[in-house]
Structure formats: C-alpha cells, structure tokens
Amino acid sequence: MSLAYFKEHYGDLASVVGLLVTMVGFLATIRNVRKARRAAEEARQAARLAVARLNSQLLANELGAALERVRETDAAIRECNWDGAVYRCDEARFRLASLLENHELREAERELIRVAFDDFGMILPDLQKLRNDVGSKAAGPRLAKRLHKIIEALSRTKGRLQSSVMEM
Amino acid sequence: MSPNPKFVQLIKSLKTATEQGRIEWSETVDEHTFRALLPNAIVRIAKVFNEKMQLEDQDLNEPAYIASLVDDGGEVLESVTSGQERGQHYVLLSELFELARRRARRIDDLLDRLITNVDSGRR
C-alpha cells in the first residue's frame, strides 16, 4: 500500500524534498551573504579607523612642527637673535596657516590657531623693525607671555590628538 | 583715500553688538590692540600713538585709533583711521576701542563682582 502510494506520488514527494532542500540552501545563502556583508562592513570600519588614526597622527605631527617653530621663535627673541626670530616667526606662521582649515581640530582649537596665526602676523613686522634697528633692545615681556600662551595652547591640542590616537 | 563706507558700517554694527554683549573681543600681543573673530575675518582695533602713526599734524600725546579688517590669510583688507581728535571717525573708533578693551579684559565682570562684594560687606 505505502509502496504503491510512494510509486504513485514519487514525483510529488521529490518536488517537496527538492523544495525543502532549495529553502535550506536559500537560507544558507542568505546567512552567508549577511556574514560577508558584516565582514565587509567590519573591514570598512577598520579601514576608516586606520585612516582616522593616521590623520590624527599626521595632524599631531604638523602641530608638533608648528609648536617647535613657536618655541624656536621664543628662544630667538630671548637671545635677541632678530634674524633668527624673523625667519622662525615666518615659519611658525606658515605652519599655523596649514592648520587653519583642518576639520580634525575642534572649533575652539581652530579659533586658538586663528588667534595664534593673527598674533604671529602682528609680531612679524615688529621683529623686522627690531632686526633693522641698530642696537635694538629686547622685545617686551608681553610678547614672551603671549608666545607662552600659544605654546601652551598648541601643546594641549597636540596632547589631545595624541591621546585620541592611542584610544583608537 | 576715504575709508570704505561698508567697513565703517561694520564698525558701527560691531560697536552695537559689543554694547549688547553679542561680540567677544580678545587681547593680542600688542597691549593696545584688541581683536574680534568673525567668520572668515578678524577685526582689530588699535590705539596708536603718534610716533607709530607718523602723522605730522597730530599733537604729541594724542592717540589715534585704527580699525582693520584682516582676512584669514592675514592680509589687511580695509582699515579706518580716526586721525586727530576732531577726525571724522574719532568718536566711533575711540568708543569701540574702550568697549573692546573692557570686554577683552573682562573689566565689567570684575567690577560687578567687586560691587557685589562691597555691597554685601565682604572683602
């Protein structure tokens, strides 16, 4: 009886089994596609993180270079080395200018750099005047104070960027 | 050459905004210069003494005032000079300078705290 039934409905049963196998295969395919998509997303995320880390590191390096020029300007001014001060002031200004439009920096940090850039623009003609004047005296204490404030602000920003690189 | 009337208008607007506490001014490397950061530009107001100004027709001890518009590249785009005390923009620029100085050095805040302390009998 059952054999006869099996013989009679062999095709139907094969279709049902085929359908089940197809469904299992379909589900497995969907699962694999999802897995592949997740892996691709994770890889993209990792790449994004690596790029962000690289950008932050590059920015920290650029800031470090600007900071170094500001420190050198400060040292040259203290030594009354006006040639060196003018050159380093110009260099510092150039380095700061390259940071003005960097969107990795926070708004407040960008403002500090704008202010520092503007200050260096104001310092430069004064230093040129001191260089050209024979027997020129030392620059005022206000200039040293302002340079130290710029050094502090740049150091803080550099520190913040380096910490964010470590946290990534 | 007469100053750009639009820049003079900006100075007037800045003065009003400073009086209303809508604009922040900050100190610069120069003791007698203050700056306001605006989008894509900076306005500086400076008090200059005649040796720096090198104006022949100025009295020896009388300061003059200069407002400058500086772009983000550090280029001075416009400037207005007060000239002598009876100069056309003297009152506007000298008043703006005083407002900017008080704002940048937080003088009014300090005075408010001192008045409160004195009124409440604290030292």
Condensed to tens digits (0 to 9), the pLDDT of residues A65-121 reads 999 999 999 999 888 888 999 999 999 999 999 888 888 888 888 888 999 999 999
The stretch B79-100 carries a mean pLDDT of 85
Q: To the nearest whole angstrom, how far is the Cα of B104 from the nearest Cα of chain A?
A: 13
Q: Check CB contact of A117 with chain B, cutoff 8 Å.
A: yes
Counted across chains A and B, CB pairs separated by less than 8 A come out at 33
Residue-wise pLDDT for B35-73, tens only, equals 999 988 999 999 988 655 555 455 556 788 999 999 988
What does the alpha-carbon distance between residue B16 and residue B95 come to, in Å, rounded to a whole number? 11
Residue-wise pLDDT for A5-19, tens only, equals 888 888 888 899 999
Cα dihedral sign, A135-A139-A141-A142: positive
Q: Check CB contact of B42 with chain A, cutoff 8 Å.
A: yes
Query: Cβ separation of A146 and B72 shorter than 8 Å?
Result: no
Dihedral, CA of residue A60, residue A64, residue A70 and residue A73, to nearest 10: -160
Residues 55-84 of A with CB under 8 A from B: none
**Preferred mutation among A114, A118, A145, A151 to probe B, highest tally of B CBs within 10 A:** A118
Residue-wise pLDDT for B92-108, tens only, equals 999 999 999 999 999 98
Cβ atoms within 10 A of the Cβ of A166, count? 9
Q: Which two tokens stand for residue A143?
A: 């200039």
pTM over 0.80: no
